[in-house]
Amino acid sequence: MPIVFDKENRVFYLHTKHTSYIMGFLENYLVHVYWGKRLEDIGEMDTAVPYRSRSCAPYSNPENADLQADHIPLEFPTYGSTDLRMPAYHAQYADGSTVSDFRYVSHRIFGGKPILKGLPATYADESEAQTLELCMRDEKTGVALYLLYTVFEHKDAITRSVRVENNGTSVVNIQKLLSANVDFYGMDYDLITLCGATIRERYVQRKPLAYGTMTVESARGASSHGRNPFIALVSRNATENSGEAYGMSFVYSGNFTAGVSVDLYDMSRMFIGLNPFDFNWRLEAGETFTAPEVVMVYSDCGIGGMSRIYHSLYRDNLCRGKYAKEPRPVLINSWETVYFDFNEEKLLEIARNAKEIGVELMVLDDGWFGERNDDKSSLGDWTENKAKLPNGLKGLADKVEDMGMKFGLWLEPEMISPVSKLYEEHPDWCLHVPGRTRSLGRNQLILDFANPEVCDYIYHVIRNILKSAKISYIKWDMNRNMSEIGSAYLPPERQRETAHRYMLGLYGMLEKLVTEFDQVLFESCSAGGGRFDAGMLYYMPQTWTSDNSDAVERMKIQYGTSLVYPALTMGAHISAVPNHQVHRTTSMETRGNIAIMGQFGLELDLKNITEQEREAAAECIRRFKALRNTIHYGDMYRLNSPFDGNIATWQFISEDKKQVVICVCNILAEANGPFHIIKPEGLEPDGIYEDTENGIVRKGSTLMQIGLPHLTPSDFGSKIYVFNKR
């Protein structure tokens, strides 16, 4: 059984195939005992969770003054106990006080996994998961905390969430509610985060823990380009394939906080959840509030081991819809191809040229609606620009379909341009604070999705578009972050709910759309990868990884992204050279090879390239189609990091271990350079693997131990090796 309650010793064991997560009690405190490699028995609580009296520290039981909550690993610390560190829950009650005292009341264990109403979350049936729900109660106010743990036994992952129920008689103001907190003895760990900026998303940062608090967070109304809602705590010696790694990935797309605090006695508190900054939720008597989910993964096979668990779980138990399992089409996108400068004829020409080299889907990006010839107007006016599309979306989509291709469309539903009919009609439908500036970002404002009327209106607009033409794909964009976060719909005392209510409004609308149009492939985007998170992946199984399409930059961006998110979720395109973001020129082969490591597409005008480049692009498409199954559904190993040196190497091995794909990319040429020995992993040691390029056969063990000699003779060179098992 994955979840066992040892009644006699009052200990909860949550077991996956290789890991355990264990909680118990010290008097009334629910204590975190252990998280790590599978462990069947913790012995005595007092030895598993050592504590002693510290001067100046308060205690609540004079009979046992040694037991001070400030120094023990608490499972879910709440403010007002004798734990003086930063809590996971902080609320203000009707009497003005902020002190709580939650005591264990009961628990239940059941098969499967409950949905988190209105929130994205991993899903499971009874054969895949078991759930523990622990109820804690604050006697004075009647508020109950439900701590939810779902164990994905075979996936080696545990999810957590928290529900607050106000069973009292007066309002509770929740000021902070995290989704997970884990206290570790010791601070000998490194913290890994994914940080960057627009067109430089998710660079890997690794730093040793130090006294104080290290956090990543967003208060921008989106999970953000700059800080991904993910952290990993790893042992100091952890590498890609050895050492311990503890990951927390937040299934949420808005403001978050995540980090580690090291306390006075070298205990490390790891946490993740909604960002408490500028947050307050008024919970009326009888109401419930649910914190978003966190997915926790432990691996003793290093950082790569942790990533493979996330990849498998997110592929199988987070992404939904037809394309969660089916091969995704190769697309061509009009954005970097023609930007705003197109008409029907031009688009059909793009589609025709793309079809000839094997592209399966033509995506019409920005500029097809209202008076939109640049980014200064029309967001909100989602009707075709007849000057560009005289036969409307339907006419265009029909013609693309007649060519034997699918048709896809770009939308930016969460936005409104001040220069639009919608804004003339509803100037109060944007996020704003009366009497204050409405600051623009890319000339636009953000619709108030905290207002159900706005959500309903936009939902119907999109639904009508999807019904009006044969649309097989939607790119859902979002091109600015929030400022002046206020809602005309909410009363003054609820203004600090706006950012979270916005996300709930967005999630509610997405849920309706992706359920009704489950044959449509949705790709999320936020000026590239500004909202690449597990929350979005629940609704849209792929994300446009970055607006930076330069192959060399993409090495780092896709490498960092792969710490949590699988290759099939990463939109990756061949674009023109010199590259539009960094002006670098790389070969078609390298641009293609990097794009093949994700969800492949193109974003360039094929009529502006040479015949030779066209053939190289066609070859990349053939390659991608032949290898996509292994890359998308196989296990990924990162063999060389572009953050550490001149080359990046990714390896994918199919589930049945019959195909191995290795992509090596280098940054600069090395004059008369060394052989880089690439050592693949995870092969069957006795399997006979054939190099499909030259027919040379080698045993799995030979390949893994002796490796492949690779030279880097050119700037931005790359090569894909494919081995098939005989």
Residues 545-574, interacting with ligand DGJ (CB under 6 A): 547
Query: Which DSSP category does 515 fall into?
Result: H
Helix (H, G, I), strand (E, B), or coil: what is residue 426?
A: coil
Distance of CA 329 to the CA centre of its chain: 22
- Asked if residue 262 lies in contact with residue 134, where contact means CB atoms within 8 angstroms, the answer is no
Q: Which of 146, 149, 252, 544 contacts ligand DGJ by CB under 6 A? A: 544
Nearer to ligand DGJ, 226 or 292 (CB): 226
Answer yes or no whether residue 380 interacts with ligand DGJ by CB under 6 A: no
Active-site residue identified among 477, 550, 605, 635: 477
Paired tokens of 18 = 């290789």
Residues 694-723, interacting with ligand DGJ (CB under 6 A): none
Q: Is 22 left (phi over 0), alpha (psi -120 to 50) or beta?
A: beta
Work out how close the CB of 229 gets to ligand DGJ at its nearest, in angstroms, rounded to a whole number: 19
Answer yes or no whether residue 613 interacts with ligand DGJ by CB under 6 A: no
Work out how close the CB of 333 gets to ligand DGJ at its nearest, in angstroms, rounded to a whole number: 7
Nearer to ligand DGJ, 385 or 479 (CB): 479
Answer yes or no whether residue 527 interacts with ligand DGJ by CB under 6 A: yes
The 3-class SS string of 373-418 reads CCCCCCCCCCCECCCCCCCHHHHHHHHHHHCCCEEEEEECCCEECC
Report how far residue 597's alpha carbon sits from residue 551's, in angstroms, rounded to the nearest whole number: 11
Q: How many chain residues interact with ligand DGJ (CB under 6 A)?
A: 11
Report how far residue 401's alpha carbon sits from residue 360's, in angstroms, rounded to the nearest whole number: 10
Which residue's Cβ has the minimum distance to ligand DGJ?
Answer: 366
Q: Which residues are registered as beta bridge partners of 666? A: 647
Answer yes or no whether residue 382 interacts with ligand DGJ by CB under 6 A: no
Q: Which residues are registered as beta bridge partners of 525? A: none
Paired tokens of 395 = 């006419």
Of 229, 201, 293, which is closest to residue 530 (Cα–Cα)? 201
Answer yes or no whether residue 166 interacts with ligand DGJ by CB under 6 A: no
Answer yes or no whether residue 525 interacts with ligand DGJ by CB under 6 A: yes
Which one of 167-175, 207-215, 520-528, 585-593 is the stretch in contact with ligand DGJ (CB under 6 A)? Answer: 520-528
Work out how close the CB of 411 gets to ligand DGJ at its nearest, in angstroms, rounded to a whole number: 10
Taking only Cα atoms into account, the Rg of the chain, rounded to an integer number of angstroms, comes to: 26
- The interface mask with ligand DGJ, positions 401-440, x = CB under 6 A, is ---------x------------------------------
- Asked if residue 295 lies in contact with residue 249, where contact means CB atoms within 8 angstroms, the answer is yes
Of 428, 534, 470, which is closest to residue 157 (Cα–Cα)? 534
Work out how close the CB of 367 gets to ligand DGJ at its nearest, in angstroms, rounded to a whole number: 8
Report how far residue 187's alpha carbon sits from residue 173's, in angstroms, rounded to the nearest whole number: 34
Q: Which of 128, 240, 244, 365 contacts ligand DGJ by CB under 6 A? A: 365
Nearer to ligand DGJ, 138 or 412 (CB): 412
Answer yes or no whether residue 477 interacts with ligand DGJ by CB under 6 A: yes
Task: Report the interhelical angle of 392-402 vs 344-356 (nearest 10°).
Answer: 20
Of 517, 496, 527, which is closest to residue 414 (Cα–Cα)? 527
Mark whether 547 is an active-site residue: yes
Work out how close the CB of 414 gets to ligand DGJ at its nearest, in angstroms, rounded to a whole number: 12
Q: Which of 149, 335, 624, 652 contacts ligand DGJ by CB under 6 A? A: 335
Active-site residue identified among 448, 547, 605, 635: 547
Work out how close the CB of 323 gets to ligand DGJ at its nearest, in angstroms, rounded to a whole number: 19
Distances (CA, A) of 663 to 204, 301, 589, 718: 20, 22, 12, 7
Helix (H, G, I), strand (E, B), or coil: what is residue 614?
A: helix
Q: Which of 190, 366, 384, 553 contacts ligand DGJ by CB under 6 A? A: 366
Which one of 317-325, 453-461, 524-532, 584-592 is the stretch in contact with ligand DGJ (CB under 6 A)? Answer: 524-532
List interacting residues with ligand DGJ (CB under 6 A): 335, 365-366, 410, 477, 479, 525, 527-528, 544, 547
Catalytic residues: 477, 547
